[in-house]
């Protein structure tokens, strides 16, 4: 029996081999290509991962705490946005599983809140974009593709009403999100809200938030905002009478203009107390109005009343702690009762433990309460020393140095070291109100020309000027 084995001759084998190589080569090129087109598509998505939000770790923790304090009451129309942002923040902090949970929760919240006939709509574009990015970062390319395709499908089905603009839902979410990231974003925030509102004028909460964003830019001033903004606020209030946060802002603006608002403030307080607890309830802002235009003791009483109703609520504890801080640090006088001080200290200790990742300012406040109330300077100094030795980011250091300098000046009358710490604060290039404050103090001391350190101050200020030019 002759076996007939079909041995390929050498040349056909070589051809086969080359074919194989070529195929592999082409395959890898196309894989590369689809990789890079996917990359490009991901970069083109409108979502938190592409919005240039990159805060430091300490700010991420602070944002996360703040978002948590908004609360997750049903009926909060920003719930989907809140979860989307929480997801992104948790991803940035390295908690990918939490990130995924938040993004999924966002999907569900949007579906529930928009309550339309269909399960999906343009409000999910940002959310699906986030999910695509998250899966991409986790190396789960198939899931990434799926979400990327979902975004494409949504954009096709729900194109923006205005050709060269994003969908209003996207603008609104971007505006609301950037609103959380500081004053330097305020122009963008206003612009995005305006675009969203122009294209889709029936969303009450967009109008309300737009006005809140406009007013909050001047949160800490004493002068009222411009007539045009006041007019917008009046209109928004008419459309959204249930929004007590807006009502409080309006009240404060009227107080700034000299109107007597005590009774209205008390009336508003009754309403706020009936609503669910949330940092959007207006309580914190109302307490500030009380402190400024009614009385700080009434502010304390109101905060305590709210706490009695919700004794375990962390946000209300912060509010109460804040009122005691105003009472002791800003309205410091000789009539301070020991019981007030004790309550202030215990509340602050509690609040510090409830915000383990974002308690620097609260610790500084506790030190100041010790320093001001019963002149317990040793306790104050100990807290400051611990903070000075802890690991902090530049912006946090700047804050600590500025407060420590003020404490050295007013509570210890250690003027040399106070100047030293104002210089340390101003040296950190981070632009902030506190840096501005330290520089202002140094200039004043120099001008008065009585400090033995005037020369040092002059040298330092000259150096700053050189850097600026």
| Interface with ligand NAG (CB under 6 A) | 197, 201-202, 204, 207, 239, 416, 452-453
- Residue 63: which of 97, 87, 46, 80 has the closest Cα? 87
Q: How far is the CB of 212 from ligand NAG (least distance, A)?
A: 13
Pair 262, 268: CB distance under 8 Å: no
Looking at beta carbons only, is 97 or 228 nearer to ligand NAG?
A: 228
Q: How far is the CB of 375 from ligand NAG (least distance, A)?
A: 20
Q: How far is the CB of 195 from ligand NAG (least distance, A)?
A: 12
- Residue 185: which of 53, 282, 45, 44 has the closest Cα? 53
Looking at beta carbons only, is 246 or 321 nearer to ligand NAG?
A: 246
C-alpha distance from residue 455 to each of 290, 405, 444, 446, 448 (Å): 44, 18, 13, 8, 12
**Measured between alpha carbons, how far is 108 from 346 in angstroms, rounded to an integer?**
39
* Count of CB atoms situated within 10 Å of the CB of 161: 11
**Measured between alpha carbons, how far is 227 from 239 in angstroms, rounded to an integer?**
19
* Count of CB atoms situated within 10 Å of the CB of 259: 12
Pair 195, 229: CB distance under 8 Å: no
Looking at beta carbons only, is 28 or 239 nearer to ligand NAG?
A: 239
412: DSSP letter: S
Q: How far is the CB of 169 from ligand NAG (least distance, A)?
A: 15
Q: How far is the CB of 60 from ligand NAG (least distance, A)?
A: 33
- Cα-based angle 349, 352, 357 (whole degrees, multiple of 5): 160
Pair 42, 132: CB distance under 8 Å: yes
- Residue 307: which of 351, 263, 372 has the closest Cα? 351
E strands along 274-422, which residues? none
Looking at beta carbons only, is 205 or 350 nearer to ligand NAG?
A: 205
Looking at beta carbons only, is 277 or 405 nearer to ligand NAG?
A: 405
In the structure encoding, which two tokens stand for residue 68, read together? 């948590």
Looking at beta carbons only, is 152 or 205 nearer to ligand NAG?
A: 205
**Measured between alpha carbons, how far is 37 from 396 in angstroms, rounded to an integer?**
41
Looking at beta carbons only, is 120 or 240 nearer to ligand NAG?
A: 240
Looking at beta carbons only, is 131 or 197 nearer to ligand NAG?
A: 197
The end-to-end CA distance of the chain, in Å, is 98
**Measured between alpha carbons, how far is 223 from 287 in angstroms, rounded to an integer?**
19
**Measured between alpha carbons, how far is 215 from 408 in angstroms, rounded to an integer?**
35
Q: Which residues contact 357 (CB under 8 A, 6 or more apart)?
A: 58, 61, 62, 64, 65
Looking at beta carbons only, is 39 or 239 nearer to ligand NAG?
A: 239
Q: How far is the CB of 242 from ligand NAG (least distance, A)?
A: 13
Q: How far is the CB of 453 from ligand NAG (least distance, A)?
A: 5
Q: How far is the CB of 462 from ligand NAG (least distance, A)?
A: 17
Q: How far is the CB of 232 from ligand NAG (least distance, A)?
A: 7
Q: How far is the CB of 341 from ligand NAG (least distance, A)?
A: 30
**Measured between alpha carbons, how far is 353 from 331 in angstroms, rounded to an integer?**
26
């Amino acid at each position: 029996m002759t076996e007939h084995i079909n041995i390929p001759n050498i040349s056909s084998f070589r051809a086969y081999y080359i074919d194989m190589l070529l195929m592999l080569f082409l395959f890898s090129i196309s894989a590369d290509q689809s990789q890079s087109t996917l990359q490009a598509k991901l970069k083109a998505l409108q979502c938190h991962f592409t919005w240039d939000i990159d805060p430091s770790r300490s700010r991420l923790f602070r944002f996360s705490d703040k978002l948590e304090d908004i609360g997750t009451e049903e009926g909060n129309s920003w719930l989907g946005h809140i979860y989307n942002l929480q997801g992104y923040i948790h991803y940035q902090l390295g908690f990918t599983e939490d990130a995924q949970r938040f993004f999924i929760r966002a999907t569900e919240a949007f579906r529930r809140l928009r309550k339309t006939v269909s399960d999906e709509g343009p409000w999910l574009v940002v959310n699906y974009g986030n999910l695509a990015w998250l899966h991409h970062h986790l190396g789960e390319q198939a899931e990434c593709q799926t979400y990327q395709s979902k975004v494409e499908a949504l954009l096709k089905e729900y194109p923006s009403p205005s050709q060269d603009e994003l969908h209003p839902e996207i603008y609104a979410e971007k505006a609301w999100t950037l609103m959380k990231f500081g004053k330097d974003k305020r122009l963008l925030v206003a612009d995005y809200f305006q675009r969203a509102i122009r294209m889709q004028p029936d969303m009450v909460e967009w109008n309300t938030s737009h006005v809140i964003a406009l007013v909050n830019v001047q949160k800490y001033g004493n002068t009222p905002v411009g007539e045009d903004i006041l007019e917008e606020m009046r209109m928004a209030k008419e459309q959204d009478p249930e929004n007590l946060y807006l009502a409080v802002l309006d009240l404060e603006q009227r107080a700034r203009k000299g109107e007597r608002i005590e009774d209205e403030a008390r009336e508003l307080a009754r309403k706020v107390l009936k609503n669910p607890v949330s940092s959007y309830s207006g309580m914190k802002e109302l307490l500030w109005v009380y402190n400024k235009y009614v009385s700080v003791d009434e502010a304390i009483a109101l905060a305590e009343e709210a706490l009695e109703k919700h004794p375990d609520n962390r946000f209300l504890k912060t509010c109460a702690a804040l009122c005691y801080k105003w009472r002791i640090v800003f309205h410091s006088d000789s009539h301070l009762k020991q019981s007030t001080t004790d309550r202030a200290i215990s509340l602050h200790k509690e609040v510090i433990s409830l915000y383990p990742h974002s308690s620097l300012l609260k610790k500084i406040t506790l030190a100041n309460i010790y320093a001001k109330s019963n002149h317990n300077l040793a306790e104050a100094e100990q807290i400051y020393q611990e903070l000075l030795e802890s690991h902090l980011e530049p912006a946090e250091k700047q804050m600590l140095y500025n407060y420590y300098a003020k404490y050295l000046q007013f509570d210890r009358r250690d003027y040399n070291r106070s100047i030293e710490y104002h210089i340390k604060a101003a040296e950190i290039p981070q632009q902030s109100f506190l840096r501005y404050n330290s520089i202002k103090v140094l200039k004043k001391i120099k001008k008065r020309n009585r400090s033995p350190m005037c020369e040092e101050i002059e040298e330092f200020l000259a150096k700053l000027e050189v850097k600026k030019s």
